Structures are given as structure tokens and as C-alpha cells.
């Protein structure tokens, strides 16, 4: 049986591991690089080919995976003279980015008129899981298309949940990130209050770890706080602000009051406003501590 030809745009922290698993499963793979050449060259070394534009990548592909920052970047690679749609051929696009659901549904409708099917398949877990093929994937789309892409998604995931029609995957991802990033903001404030009252982060961790409030996100967060592992949870504060901003826009579109989500967003806006956009989410704990007069940690 001939395997689908796969295109992949966005071989960064998550996408590199995903693309590696796709090519290891024997799928012909075409990638398009951006700023960082290292993962592109590594994938070429595994047998991938490189396209210089989204249009050229679409011409070489049956199914294209996107793992870019968000809706603005998805629109940029799908539209325009050199975009995916400009290839003028039937195509399946799988958006694994964390995007705005309202943009996703509108884009899916416009692409359908050009015989292109867009589904959303945002990701749960970490770059380590992407490399090891153990991601969680939330997929929104029609059942026939999902059946077509399932074998490819299974190369980099351990769990795949069909959430409903296109757009529901991105909605679920925003809710998932609201929970995790909300915890991130809570941990930062709790750790700061503990330290100001004489409780060390190590004592805090010894109480929470293994108890009912423990979880995987907590452990990677605290691997930075107490272990100072800068790479324990590689998700930037700028991406955290983007995702919480998407959630607030979504809530506004639903005419929903969401005071907690607004407060969570403002925690990350504070981090960005103080120049920490490229830092990772657990480093919010340092920012909140220093803003409250505690000495910087090494």
C-alpha cells in the first residue's frame, strides 16, 4: 500500500520530534524550515526533503501538518501567492498549533471551496513526549478525514481524542491550557507567599509532591523551581500570553464572564511587560518573587 506523502511546517520544539516519528514510520516527508536550521538539517539527514515555500510543500504532499505558533502564522502559510492553497490541488491540512477556534472554523470553510480540508489537532504534553511519540492529541474534524490521518498522528501520539467537528480541538486545547497555565500562575504566587513567610520551595514541594494536588505539570514546573532545570518545561511565557488571550477572546465571543481566566492572562501579561517573553512558564515563579521584593535565585 502506497503511503501518503506528508508535508510538515513548523519543526520547532514540538514539531521536530513529531516529524522525526513520521519519517521513522516510513512516510515520505517534506519539511519547510524557518529560523532554526538545526532540526531541518537533522530531518534531511533522516531522509526528508526540504521545500522553500508552503506552495512548493503542498505540491509535494497529500497531507500537510502545521505546528506553528498560532492563527496568524496558520493564515500566513495557507493564504497568499506562495501559500498552501496556491498549489491548487486537493489537500488535507492538519493544524496542530494552538489556534483561535473562531479563526479555524472560518478558515476551514474558505479552504473547503478550494477542495482543501482543514482539521485541527492540537497537542498535549511536552517536546520530550513529541520526540518519544507519546503526545496527547485533540482532533476536531469529520470522521472520514480523521480516519485518513489517524495512522500518521499515531506515529507521534499515545492518545488521540476526537472532540467533534473542526474547531472543537482548538477549543479543548484552550481549556486544557487554561487549566495548566492557571496552575502555573497559582504556583508562582503560592511559592512567593511561602518564601516571604519563611517556607522554602523545597518544603512546599515536599508537601505537595505525592499528594492530591500533584500532577505531571506540577512536577515539570517544580523541576525548574527546586532543581533549576531550565529545560524542564519548554513553553515560553509569550506563548502562554497568546493562549490565555485566545481564551479570553473566545469567552467574550460566547458572552461569558470569565474573571479567573482574565486574572491568569494578566499574570502572563505582567511577565511579558517586564521583558521575560522568551523565558519558560516555570520561570514565572522567579518573576513574581522578585516583583515582591525577594532576592533573585541563581
Q: Are 250 and 101 in contact (CB under 8 A)?
A: yes
148 contacts: CB under 8 Å, gap ≥ 6? 4, 63, 92
CA pair distance 129, 126, nearest whole angstrom: 5
Out of 173, 196, 234, 297, pick the active-site residue.
173
Q: Which residue has the cell 505525592?
A: 210
Determine the angle formed by the axes of helices 37-45 and 15-24, rounding to 10 degrees.
10
| Spatial distance between the Cα atoms of 268 and 202, rounded to a whole number of angstroms | 24
CB burial of residue 220 (10 Å; 0-12, 13-18, 19+):
buried
Q: Are 240 and 231 in contact (CB under 8 A)?
A: no
Write the DSSP symbol of residue 86: G
Radius of gyration of the chain (CA): 20
Residue 128 annotated in active site: no
Quote the CA–CA distance of 14 and 34 in Å, as a whole number: 14
Please say whether the beta carbons of 57 and 84 come within 8 A. yes
**Rounded CA separation 267/285 (Å):** 11
| Cα–Cα distance, 267 to 254 (Å, whole number) | 23
Q: Which residues are catalytic?
A: 173
Amino acid at each position: 500500500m502506497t503511503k501518503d506523502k506528508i508535508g510538515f511546517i513548523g519543526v520547532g520544539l514540538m514539531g521536530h520530534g513529531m516529524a522525526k516519528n513520521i519519517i521513522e514510520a516510513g512516510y515520505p516527508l517534506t519539511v519547510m524550515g524557518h529560523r532554526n536550521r538545526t532540526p531541518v538539517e537533522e530531518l534531511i539527514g533522516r531522509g526528508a526533503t526540504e521545500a522553500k515555500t508552503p506552495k512548493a510543500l503542498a505540491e509535494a504532499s497529500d497531507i500537510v501538518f502545521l505546528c506553528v505558533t498560532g492563527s496568524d502564522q496558520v493564515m500566513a502559510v495557507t493564504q497568499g501567492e506562495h501559500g498552501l492553497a496556491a498549489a491548487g490541488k486537493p489537500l488535507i491540512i492538519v493544524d496542530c498549533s494552538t489556534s483561535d477556534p473562531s479563526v479555524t472554523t472560518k478558515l476551514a470553510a474558505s479552504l473547503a471551496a478550494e477542495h482543501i480540508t482543514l482539521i485541527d489537532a492540537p497537542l498535549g504534553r511536552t517536546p520530550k513526549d513529541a520526540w518519544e511519540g507519546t503526545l496527547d492529541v485533540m482532533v476536531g474534524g469529520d470522521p472520514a478525514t480523521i480516519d485518513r490521518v489517524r495512522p500518521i498522528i499515531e506515529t507521534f501520539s499515545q492518545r488521540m481524542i476526537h472532540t467533534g467537528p473542526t474547531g472543537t480541538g482548538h477549543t479543548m486545547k484552550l481549556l486544557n491550557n487554561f487549566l495548566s497555565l492557571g496552575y502555573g500562575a497559582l504556583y508562582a504566587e503560592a511559592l512567593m507567599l511561602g518564601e516571604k513567610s519563611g517556607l522554602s520551595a523545597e518544603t512546599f514541594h515536599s508537601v505537595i509532591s505525592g499528594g492530591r494536588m500533584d500532577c505531571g505539570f506540577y512536577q515539570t514546573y517544580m523541576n525548574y523551581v527546586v532543581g533549576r532545570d531550565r529545560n524542564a518545561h519548554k513553553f515560553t511565557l509569550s506563548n502562554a500570553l497568546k493562549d490565555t488571550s485566545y481564551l479570553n477572546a473566545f469567552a467574550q465571543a460566547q458572552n461569558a464572564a470569565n474573571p479567573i481566566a482574565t486574572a491568569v492572562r494578566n499574570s502572563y501579561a505582567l511577565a511579558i511587560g517586564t521583558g521575560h517573553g522568551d523565558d519558560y512558564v516555570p520561570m514565572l515563579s522567579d518573576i513574581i518573587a522578585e516583583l515582591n521584593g525577594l532576592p533573585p535565585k541563581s
